[in-house]
Structure 1
Amino acid sequence: MTLKPLGDRVLVKPAPKEEKTSTGLYISSGAQEKPQRGEVIAVGAGKVSDKGERIVPDVKVGDQVYYGKFGGNEVKVDGEDYLLLRADDIYAVIEG
């Protein structure tokens, strides 16, 4: 199945949850924080301004991004978990 976001929505594949601390201790599943980083999988065409001009999102497929902790909606496509966000819920693109 292919999922094409509409408007200013962006489909992101969240990074895996951290299972260990930096010192090597395992974190219980209940204490693991929801990821705030992921890879852009698909991008909508953008929203339309009051003047009728399309505003294209600042991200593209393949970008690694940071997004809001409580933003978006979780969706499952072909058994994989994704997050469907508004472009405004993405705070930064990770470069380098």
Structure 2
Amino acid sequence: MSVLRNIKSLAPLLDRVLVQRIKPEAKTASGIFLPESSVKEQNEAKVLAVGPGAFDKDGKRLPMGVANGDKVLIPQFGGSPIKVGEDEYTLFRDSEILAKINE
């Protein structure tokens, strides 16, 4: 069995997108630290890798809706979780990504 040692060695196929959730801030803008129980799981993630796209019925490759480095909104549940050491990542299909966050 092969063990994934580095997430950079993972290349998503077809219309899959590899993301890592952005950890919510545990401190307010004024510097007050929040207890873990009050910091909710965020649905924002950073796109780390994008597959080349799926094919349509005519065999043409469909363009992906997101690109490496994009900040996106992902569903609360779903996707395929991947753990590398202590770090957690998730693979979603391009169509499962809810929105791209433009800043």
Given the alignment of the two structures, is residue 16 of structure 1 paired with residue 16 of structure 2, yes or no?
no
The aligned residue for residue 90 of structure 2 is 83
Rg (Cα) greater in structure: 2
TM-score (norm 1): 0.81
Q: Does the 8 A contact of 1:14 with 1:39 survive in 2?
A: yes
Distance in 2, Cα, partners of 1:7 & 1:78: 26
| Paired residues, number | 95
Structure 1, unpaired ranges of 5+: none
Report 1:16-55 matches (<5 A): 16-17=23-24, 19=26, 24=32, 26-29=34-37, 33-55=40-62
The structure with the greater share of residues assigned to helix is 2
Alignment root-mean-square deviation, CA: 2.1
- One-letter code of the match for 2:58? K
- Alignment identity in percent? 36
Structure 2, unpaired ranges of 5+: 1-5
Residues 28-62 of structure 1, C-alpha deviations (whole Å, 9 max, x = no match): 45x75432111000000111111111112110000
The structure with the greater share of residues assigned to strand is 1
Distance in 1, Cα, partners of 2:93 & 2:26: 28
